[in-house]
Amino acid sequence: MTSDPSGAELDLVVERDSAGLRLDQFLTLRIPGQSRASLAVALKAEAILVDGQTKKSAYRLRGGERITGVLLAPPPSQLAAEKIPLTILYEDDALLVIAKPPGLVVHPGSGNITGTLASGLLYHCATLAQVGDAARPGLVHRLDKDTSGVLAVAKHEHAHRLLVAQFQRRRVRKEYLALAHGHFITKTGRIDAPIARHPVNRQKMTVLPSGRQAITNWRVEEEFAGLTLVRLHIETGRTHQIRVHLASIGHAVAGDQVYGRHGQAGASRFPRQMLHAERLTLTHPISGQEMLFVAPLWPDFQAVLDDLQ
pLDDT tens-digit series, residues 122-158: 999 999 988 887 778 899 999 999 999 999 999 998 9
Question: Which residue from 205, 229, 207 is spatially nearest to 307, judged by alpha carbons?
Answer: 229
What is the model's pLDDT at position 141? 93
Measured CA to CA, the distance from residue 220 to residue 184 in angstroms comes to 8
Tell me the residue type at 66: R
- DSSP H helices, 114-220, are 117-124, 157-168
pLDDT of 189 over the 70 cut: yes
pTM for this entry: 0.78
Digit-coded pLDDT (tens) for 195-210 = 998 988 878 999 999 9
Name the residues annotated as catalytic: 144
Distance CA 42, CA 298 (A): 42
- Dihedral, 147, 152, 155, 159 alpha carbons, nearest 10: -140
User: Given this model, what pLDDT does residue 142 score?
Assistant: 92
For 21-43, write each residue's pLDDT tens digit. Answer: 889 888 878 876 666 667 777 88
pLDDT at 4: 45
Cα 62 to Cα 109: distance, rounded to the nearest angstrom: 30
Which domains are present in the chain? Answer: 9-70 (3.10.290.10), 76-168 (3.30.2350.10), 174-276+304-308 (3.30.2350.10)
Q: How far apart are CA 197 and CA 300, in angstroms?
A: 30
Mean pLDDT of all residues belonging to the chain: 89
- Residue 161 sits at φ, ψ, to 5 deg, of -60, -45
Distance between CA atoms of residues 94 and 60, nearest Å = 29
List beta partners, residue 12.
67
Whether the per-residue pLDDT at 94 is higher than 60: the answer is yes
